[in-house]
Structure formats: structure tokens, C-alpha cells
């Protein structure tokens, strides 16, 4: 029994090491380097929420002068909140200057951890709550106004749809996905009031198979323009490609997955926010600011797929919508 | 509600349900073989991920989904060999070694994905093959007979494995080893060899289950893309009473209800999406709870066999 038990222990340890091996560990570096750590629910290659933030960090790192000026450590696939909380605490105790908890589900944990590390700045999103009301001063918060890009892409989808049936598929009816999906719906209906917009949720951020089936269902119901949110939409994009329907992406530019099917994507550019947070921390302000990504501050960008021709009047309508959102004439 | 019971909706449910059931069928029938021989393999999910990755990677590099399928099958067999070695030769606790195998497959497939590809890409996988005449049957023809080859293979596996388990000498040996390994051993059946064979066969089918996602149904690889399917497959074996036909019933029930709940949402039936999403799980549990005939599992399930004991 004893030897059997030790075999099992060895096996578990080996497996754990392998899994842990996937997350790059931080190495000790001189303290002049600005050290950023990020904990995220999916992977840096998810074509969505996590990738947008990771690529933003890389871009800022390159601008600041590479790894000698800024160090990035990351922990991905932290879909379990207790694991994420442990990682956040770990990074804070290792002396990271800024620890980003990239998921609204991490908020409660962050509220408990942040007061223990007053010399570390934390950030989390999507939310605008910096916990200042609770007396915590070292937390930043950020949120993408996903409904803005949703609205603009909805305008484009409505104008390009032939069947006037549009399908939207999200993970859960909450947060960033809800903002985006409702904004998109508003954009469609403002352009074509008689269009039919159907919405499905799969209940999961990672169920690629069910997301593909959701797209299949929308197309079978007559939709020719589809959109959706979360990292699992990669499954839906493939179905659009196979069935000849078109797709609109959000969070990250999803064109590369299906150049024949993706018309445009709303891309999150977090670099402005990241730079401001770093400048704040360097100036001694460790938190208390809530940031938003908008068209106005350059945090939201519509990336058209160059391989698909979008008529000039459609692009003009999209630009008009952006202008109207910027001056407040439209509130998606 | 009436708009849900229209022809296009029913045809759509049939088509999507059959596609959704495909990976479950491969994985759960493979697991049926392992369990009928007395080995509980909880690592199906990890093998599926390895199969999904290797099938996709080889398919992408060679441009041939057939070679991808072969790679997934071989990797599945290797993972099965590993599980066999740990649980049969080394006689480790099967439940725990299966969980270890899952973590191993999850970690290794993610690591390989990162080092070899680094980003999500899509490929041309197996194309739909329309079966002439059959696909021309009004209404249901297109839903049933216009799928890729792996979908047909998954469903053909049901009668094939039923036949192997019930009508062949091999099947008799498998059942004997799972029911009473001591007796089988005294009759000259090599218990270890039969169990190795079944676990490796289960591994191969789990590998193909993963590949059915990555090179036939969705045609891309993403980390952890099986999202718990392997564990549902293990549950389906119990649901189906360790019989391939029962496993298919469970897989289809779960998949059809899943396809149905998406149509409820698409048609804008006014119930919260959370309820719709719960439906397949609730109905499967209800079906399990009210199933009158209680199937008995293999008596030696999850018990390592050692000659001379008892």
C-alpha cells in the first residue's frame, strides 16, 4: 500500500509540475525594472479578452525599452477564482509593482488581498469599482465600453445583411458580453427597425463546441450576419466560414481565423490605460482611478478585414455612428 | 411555443444534435470497453485534448486530415498505454491515476500548442460527404446523411462495438475479465493483456474523439477545447448501463436537448437563458433517476487484479 501511495504521489507531482511548467515563472531582476504581473481567466492566445490585454502590455513594454525597462509575468487559464487569488497574492509578495487581475470574477478576492500589500498597485476589470469607498487606495479599475463598438458593428451588419436576420451568441448574460451584445442589437435596430435579432448564450466562456452549434442554429434560422463574445467564439467563426455566413468580432481582431468570413472586429487597445497606470504608480499614486476604453480616447478601434469589400456608404455610416457616439448624440 | 415545432427547427435539431453527439460517442464507447474490462479511466478528457492537438497539428503540417486522424489515434493509444501501465501493471488507484492523466494531457497539449503554434489557427478538416439517395429522403435526409466521415464512423461504432462485446470470443474475454478476473485467469485468459488492449482501444477512441473536434467538426485547436466533454463521456457510460446502445441513447438525449435549448433562445421564447442552458443537464439527471431498469456495472470495475490474491 505504501509503495502504491508513493507511486500516486509521484504521478500527481509530475502532472502538477507539467501544468505549472506552462506558466512562466518570474525570475529575480534588479528593482529598477517596472514589474507587471497579470492573472487572466483564459490564455494569451485566446483571440479575445486575455490576448488583447497581453498584447497591450507587450506593446507598452516595447515602447518603454524592452525587458530591461519593464518585466511582464503572467498566469493564464485561471478560471478558478481561488487559484487566481493565490497567484495574485504570490505576485504581490514577490514585489511586483503592478498586479493586474484581468477578470470581473476576481474582484472580491482583490478587495481582500489589496489592503495587505499597500506598496503594490493592483488593477482589475471589467469594472469601475476601485474600492475607494471601502478605504482601499491601491486598486485601479478598467472597463471597455463594449457597447460602443457593438453599436457601430451592428450598423454595418444591418446594412450588409440580405436576409435581415442577425444572430448574436455570447457566454453569459452579464458583464462585457452583455454590454457588447446589447449595443450591437441597438445598432442593428437603429439602422433597420424591421430586422430580426436573435440572441443566444451558451453558459460557458470556453465551450467551443456549443458555441459552434449556436452559430449553426442561427444560420439555420436564416441569419447571414453573426457576432459573439468570449474566447469560445473561434468555434462559431469556423461554422460561419463553412456555411457562407459573415462574422463580426470583438475584443481582438479575429480576421486571421477566417479571412473570407470576418467583416470587421472591435479591437480593445489597452495601451493608453496601461501607460497611465504605470505613470501613476511611478508618481506614487497607487490606485483610485477608474478607466474606460472608448472610441473617444482611442481605446476602441474598428478593424476592417481588408479581404472583404465593405461598401463606402456602409463605412461612412459606421464613421458617422462613431462620431455621434463621441459627441454624445447616440448613447448605445 | 408553437413556432418551436416547425419543420426547419426539428430538422435543425436533428442535424446539430448528431454533430454534438459525435465526440461523446467516440469517447464514451472507448470508455465502455475499458470499464467492461474492469478499468475505470478518468483520464479520457486528457487523452481527448492530446488527440485534438496532435490531430490538428499533423493535419495542418501535412495538409491531410487522414494523417491527422492517424496521429490522434496513435497518441491516444500511447496515452492508453501510459494509463494501462500505471493502473494495471503498477496497480495504482485508478480514479487518481485517471485524474493525473487528465492533468498531464491538459498541461502537455497546452504546452505543445504554445511552443509549436502559439496562436489559434483554422484548417480544412474532413469535408461533409453527402450520401446519395439517402440524403434525398425528404426532410430528414440532409440532417442525417450530409456529415463528415467521422460522424458516420461514430454511429457505426455502436453496432460494431455491441457485436464485438456480445458476439465474439474477444467480447466474452473482456466481459469475463471485468466480471470475475480470477475465474477468467483460471480458464487461461490473460487478464493483463485483455485489460491493456481495452484501455488502449479506449485511448485510441478518446484520441479520435478529440480529433473529431479539431479536424472534422470545428477545425481548429484551442487550449482546453474539450471543456469537460471527457468527464461527461465517463458519466455517459454509467448512464448507458455499460452498453453501447445505451451510451448512444444518453449521448443523443444530451445533445438533442442542447440543440433544442439553443433553438428556444434563437426563437426568442421568453425564458431566461440560464434555464435553457441548464436543460440538458437537468433532463439527463432526471432520465437517470427515473430509468427503471438498474444496470449493474462490471463487478471488478476499478479493482486491480493480482494473481494469487483472494
Q: What pLDDT sits at residue B166?
A: 96
Q: Do A203 and B277 touch (CB under 8 A)?
A: yes
What is the grid cell recorded at A237? 467563426
Q: Do B266 and A167 touch (CB under 8 A)?
A: yes
Residue-wise pLDDT for A88-141, tens only, equals 999 999 999 999 999 999 999 999 999 999 999 999 999 999 999 999 999 999
Q: What pLDDT sits at residue A15?
A: 59
DSSP B229-270: HHHHHHHHHHHTTT-HHHHHHHHHHHHHHHHHHHHHHHTT-S
Q: How many angstroms away from the CA of B104 is the closest CA of chain A?
A: 5
**Which residue segment(s) compose the domain that B165 sits in?**
2-117+139-290
By the 8 A CB rule, do B262 and B87 touch? no
Spatial separation of the C-alpha atoms in residues A245 and A218, rounded to whole Å: 10
Predicted confidence (pLDDT) at residue B74 exceeds the cutoff of 80? yes
| B124 is a domain residue | no
Q: How many angstroms away from the CA of A2 is the closest CA of chain B?
A: 11
| B284 is a domain residue | yes
Both ends of chain B: CA-CA distance in Å?
60
Q: Do A256 and B93 touch (CB under 8 A)?
A: no
Greater pLDDT, B4 or A320:
A320
| B97 is a domain residue | yes
Q: What pLDDT sits at residue A29?
A: 45
Predicted confidence (pLDDT) at residue B285 exceeds the cutoff of 90? no
Q: Which residues of B touch A212 (CB under 8 A)?
A: 217-218
Greater pLDDT, A49 or B4:
A49
Q: What pLDDT sits at residue A1?
A: 42
In chain A, whose CA is at the least distance from the CA of B128? Answer: A242
CB count, 10 Å around CB of B47? Answer: 39
Complex ipTM value: 0.93
- Give chain B's length: 310
Q: What pLDDT sits at residue B283?
A: 87
Which 40-79 residues of chain A touch chain B by CB within 8 A?
Answer: 43, 45-47, 77
Q: Which of A208, A213, A241 sits opposite B227 (nearest CB)?
A: A208
Mean predicted lDDT score pLDDT of chain B? 94
> What total of structural domains would you count in chain B?
1
Q: What is the mean pLDDT of residues B50-73?
A: 98
Residue-wise pLDDT for A273-317, tens only, equals 999 999 999 999 999 999 999 999 999 999 999 999 999 999 999
| B128 is a domain residue | no
Predicted confidence (pLDDT) at residue B292 exceeds the cutoff of 60? no
Q: What is the mean pLDDT of residues B135-162?
A: 95
By the 8 A CB rule, do B291 and B29 touch? no
Predicted confidence (pLDDT) at residue B159 exceeds the cutoff of 60? yes
Q: What pLDDT sits at residue A7?
A: 63
Residue numbers in chain A where pLDDT is lower than 70: 1-31
CATH number assigned to the domain comprising residue B228: 1.10.3470
Which 76-135 residues of chain A touch chain B by CB within 8 A?
Answer: 77
A199 touches chain B (CB under 8 A): yes
Under the banding of pLDDT at 50, 70 and 90, the label for residue B77 is very high
Q: Do A173 and B108 touch (CB under 8 A)?
A: no
| B297 is a domain residue | no
Predicted confidence (pLDDT) at residue B144 exceeds the cutoff of 70? yes
Q: What pLDDT sits at residue B306?
A: 87
Q: Which of B227, B266, B268 sits opposite A206 (nearest CB)?
A: B227
Q: Which domains does chain A have, with CATH numbers?
A: 29-145+270-293 (3.40.50.2300), 146-268+298-326 (3.40.50.2300)
Amino acid at each position: 500500500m505504501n509503495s502504491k501511495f508513493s507511486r500516486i504521489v509521484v504521478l500527481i507531482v509530475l502532472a502538477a509540475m507539467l501544468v505549472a511548467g506552462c506558466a512562466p515563472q518570474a525570475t529575480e531582476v534588479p528593482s529598477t525594472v517596472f514589474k507587471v504581473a497579470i492573472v487572466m481567466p483564459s490564455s494569451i492566445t485566446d483571440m479575445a479578452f486575455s490576448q488583447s490585454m497581453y498584447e497591450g502590455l507587450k506593446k507598452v513594454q516595447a515602447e518603454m525599452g524592452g525587458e530591461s525597462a519593464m518585466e511582464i509575468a503572467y498566469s493564464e487559464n485561471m478560471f478558478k477564482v481561488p487559484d487566481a487569488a493565490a497567484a495574485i497574492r504570490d505576485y504581490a509578495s514577490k514585489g511586483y509593482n503592478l498586479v493586474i487581475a484581468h477578470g470581473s470574477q476576481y474582484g472580491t478576492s482583490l478587495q481582500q488581498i489589496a489592503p495587505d500589500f499597500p506598496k503594490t498597485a493592483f488593477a482589475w476589470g471589467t469594472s469601475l469599482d476601485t474600492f475607494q469607498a471601502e478605504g482601499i487606495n491601491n486598486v485601479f479599475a478598467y472597463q471597455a465600453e463594449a457597447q460602443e463598438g457593438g453599436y457601430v458593428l451592428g450598423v454595418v451588419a444591418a446594412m450588409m445583411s440580405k436576409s435581415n436576420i442577425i444572430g448574436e451568441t455570447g457566454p453569459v448574460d452579464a458583464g462585457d458580453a452583455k454590454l457588447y451584445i446589447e449595443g450591437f442589437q441597438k445598432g442593428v435596430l437603429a439602422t433597420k427597425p424591421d430586422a430580426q435579432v436573435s440572441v443566444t448564450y451558451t453558459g460557458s466562456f470556453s465551450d467551443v463546441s456549443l458555441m459552434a452549434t449556436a452559430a449553426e442554429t442561427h444560420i439555420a434560422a436564416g441569419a447571414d450576419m453573426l457576432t459573439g463574445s468570449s474566447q469560445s467564439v473561434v468555434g462559431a467563426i469556423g461554422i460561419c466560414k463553412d456555411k457562407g455566413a459573415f462574422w463580426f468580432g470583438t475584443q481582438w481582431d479575429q480576421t486571421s481565423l477566417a479571412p473570407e468570413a470576418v467583416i470587421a472586429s472591435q479591437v480593445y487597445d489597452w495601451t493608453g490605460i496601461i501607460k497611465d497606470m504605470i505613470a501613476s504608480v511611478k508618481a506614487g499614486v497607487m490606485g483610485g482611478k477608474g478607466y474606460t476604453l472608448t472610441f473617444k480616447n482611442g481605446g476602441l478601434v474598428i478593424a476592417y478585414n481588408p479581404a472583404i469589400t465593405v461598401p463606402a456608404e456602409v463605412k461612412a455610416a459606421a464613421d458617422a455612428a462613431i462620431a455621434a457616439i463621441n459627441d454624445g448624440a447616440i448613447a448605445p | 411555443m408553437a413556432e418551436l415545432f416547425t419543420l426547419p427547427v426539428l430538422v435543425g435539431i436533428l442535424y446539430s444534435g448528431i454533430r454534438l453527439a459525435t465526440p461523446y460517442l467516440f469517447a464514451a464507447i472507448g470508455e465502455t470497453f475499458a470499464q467492461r474490462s474492469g478499468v475505470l479511466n478518468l483520464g479520457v478528457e486528457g487523452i481527448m485534448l492530446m488527440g485534438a492537438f496532435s490531430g490538428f497539428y499533423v493535419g495542418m503540417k501535412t495538409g491531410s486530415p487522414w494523417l491527422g486522424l492517424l496521429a490522434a489515434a496513435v497518441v491516444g493509444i500511447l496515452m492508453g498505454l501510459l494509463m494501462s501501465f500505471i493502473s494495471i501493471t503498477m496497480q495504482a488507484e485508478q480514479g487518481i491515476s485517471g485524474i493525473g492523466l487528465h492533468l498531464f494531457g491538459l498541461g502537455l497539449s497546452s504546452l505543445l500548442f504554445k511552443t509549436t503554434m502559439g496562436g489559434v489557427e483554422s484548417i480544412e478538416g474532413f469535408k461533409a460527404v453527402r450520401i446519395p439517395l439517402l440524403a434525398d429522403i425528404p426532410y430528414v435526409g440532409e440532417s442525417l446523411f450530409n456529415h463528415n466521415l467521422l460522424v458516420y464512423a461514430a454511429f457505426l461504432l455502436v453496432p460494431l462495438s455491441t457485436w464485438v462485446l456480445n458476439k465474439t470470443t474477444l467480447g466474452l474475454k473482456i466481459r469475463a475479465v471485468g466480471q470475475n478476473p480470477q475465474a477468467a485467469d483460471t480458464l487461461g485468459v490473460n487478464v493483463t493483456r485483455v485489460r491493456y488492449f481495452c484501455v488502449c482501444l479506449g485511448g485510441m477512441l478518446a484520441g479520435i474523439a478529440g480529433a473529431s473536434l479539431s479536424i472534422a467538426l470545428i477545425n481548429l485547436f484551442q487550449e482546453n477545447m474539450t471543456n469537460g466533454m471527457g468527464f461527461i463521456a465517463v458519466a455517459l457510460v454509467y448512464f448507458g448501463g455499460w452498453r453501447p446502445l445505451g451510451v448512444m441513447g444518453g449521448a443523443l438525449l444530451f445533445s438533442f436537448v442542447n440543440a433544442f435549448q439553443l433553438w428556444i433562445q434563437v426563437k426568442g421564447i421568453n425564458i431566461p437563458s440560464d434555464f435553457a442552458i441548464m436543460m440538458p443537464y437537468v433532463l439527463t439527471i432526471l432520465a437517470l433517476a427515473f430509468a427503471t431498469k438498474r444496470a449493474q456495472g462490471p463487478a471488478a470495475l476499478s479493482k486491480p487484479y493480482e494473481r494469487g490474491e483472494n
